[in-house]
């Protein structure tokens, strides 16, 4: 039993490190640019390096809370005494019970002046406890509503910036790409209501388990599939990125990020095997893996609950129902 706890804990730690590494790799500006030119109309047909240069500062990775009231932070300018409202940046380690956006960044449009806000989320599987699109709608709504006092004040709603919440969903039954946005249906008359229907946008990217063939329609899925693959070697990934997408893999952060992800992926697999083997010594390998996994999940759930993780976060990590988790927590 002690070995099972150790293996479960180590595997969970390595999984968390793997997820963090995946976000850092996806958060590289050149990778973000390759995504933008394929899913955001504003950037289609542009060069990836040009789009990367339009991304302002460094993307916020697991730093911006999703919860209402926590996304913005107010401060006072020491020189002028004016009230300043900006994004509330903090480390996710400060309060492990909070839910954070995976990646958020600002990007300037072609004119170099107007900006839009981009959110990128990565999901290893489609959730079974809630509809993923409902969560995406909530995130997009937060990106819009949180602009009050930060991007505009009072009733100056014309200053609301366009937002995109982009979701990468792995292990789907097929490769897919959907743009979900607002449309106007005239039920009576054809009144031209002034406003911008293009403010909220959601993009859902479904990645099949197998990396698709080298075809134009699969350009985005082939790149993301390779980046997030747990079967390709680091060198295979880097070769594909360099040869097919002209991504400068020697650039700081990319080569190291790919290698770290591959090493962590191997570590998680090894820990999972070791945990099942430890339990299998008493009841047989097949039964041992099942029992070991169940016990390991119980330990993980109790530890996460003790550290203040929310019920939603525990459900995401363990892929268990609310009732099952509550039965373990007590």
The predicted pLDDT at position 168 comes to 97
CB 48 within 8 A of CB 248: no
Tell if the pTM clears 0.85, that is, is over it. Answer: no
Domain ranges of the chain: 1-16+267-330, 29-182+199-250
Q: How confident is the model at residue 295 (pLDDT cuts 50, 70, 90)?
A: low
CA distances (Å), origin 10, targets 22, 28, 299, 314: 18, 27, 12, 17
The model's pLDDT over 118-157, given as tens digits with 9 standing for 90+, comes to 999 999 888 899 999 999 999 999 999 999 989 999 999 9
Q: DSSP readout, 294-311?
A: HHHHHHHHHHHHHTT--H
> How, if at all, do strands 200-208 and 176-181 pair?
antiparallel
The model's pLDDT over 163-200, given as tens digits with 9 standing for 90+, comes to 999 999 999 999 999 999 999 999 999 999 999 999 99
Terminal Cα-to-Cα distance of the chain (whole angstroms):
21
Q: How confident is the model at residue 231 (pLDDT cuts 50, 70, 90)?
A: confident
* Residue whose token pair is 């981009």: 118
CA atoms lying within 13 Å on the CB side of residue 109: 12
Tokens of 162: 């366009």
Checking if the pLDDT of 8 tops 90, the result is: no
The model's pLDDT over 27-84, given as tens digits with 9 standing for 90+, comes to 999 999 999 999 999 999 999 999 999 999 999 999 999 987 677 765 545 555 554 5
């Amino acid at each position: 039993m002690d070995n099972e706890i150790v293996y479960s804990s180590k595997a969970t730690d390595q999984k968390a490190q793997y997820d963090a590494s995946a976000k850092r790799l996806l958060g590289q500006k050149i990778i973000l640019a390759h995504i933008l030119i394929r899913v955001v109309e504003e950037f289609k047909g542009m060069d990836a390096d040009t789009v990367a240069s339009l991304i302002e500062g460094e993307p916020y990775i697991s730093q911006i809370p999703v919860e209402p009231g926590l996304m913005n932070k107010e401060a006072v300018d020491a020189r002028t005494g004016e009230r300043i409202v900006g994004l509330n940046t903090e480390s996710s380690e400060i309060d492990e019970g909070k839910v954070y956006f995976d990646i958020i960044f600002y990007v300037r449009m072609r004119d170099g002046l107007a900006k839009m806000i981009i959110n990128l989320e990565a999901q290893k599987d489609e959730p079974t406890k809630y509809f993923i699109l409902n969560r995406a709608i909530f995130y997009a709504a937060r990106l819009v509503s949180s602009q009050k006092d930060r991007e505009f004040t009072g009733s100056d709603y014309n200053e609301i910036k366009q937002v995109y919440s982009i979701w990468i969903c792995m292990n789907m039954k097929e490769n897919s790409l959907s743009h979900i946005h607002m449309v106007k249906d005239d039920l009576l008359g054809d009144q031209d209501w002034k406003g911008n229907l293009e403010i909220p946008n959601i993009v859902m990217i479904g990645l099949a388990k197998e990396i698709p063939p080298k075809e134009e329609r699969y350009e985005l899925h082939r790149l993301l599939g390779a980046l997030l693959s747990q079967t390709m070697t680091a060198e295979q990934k880097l070769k594909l990125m360099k040869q097919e997408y002209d991504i400068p893999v020697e650039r700081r952060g990319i080569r190291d990020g790919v290698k770290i992800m591959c090493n962590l992926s191997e570590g998680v697999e090894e820990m999972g095997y070791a945990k099942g083997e430890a339990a299998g010594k008493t009841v047989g390998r097949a039964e041992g893996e099942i029992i070991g996994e169940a016990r390991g999940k119980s330990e993980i759930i109790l530890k996460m609950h003790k550290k203040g993780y929310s019920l939603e976060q525990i459900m995401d990590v363990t892929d268990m129902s609310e009732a099952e988790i509550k039965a373990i927590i007590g």
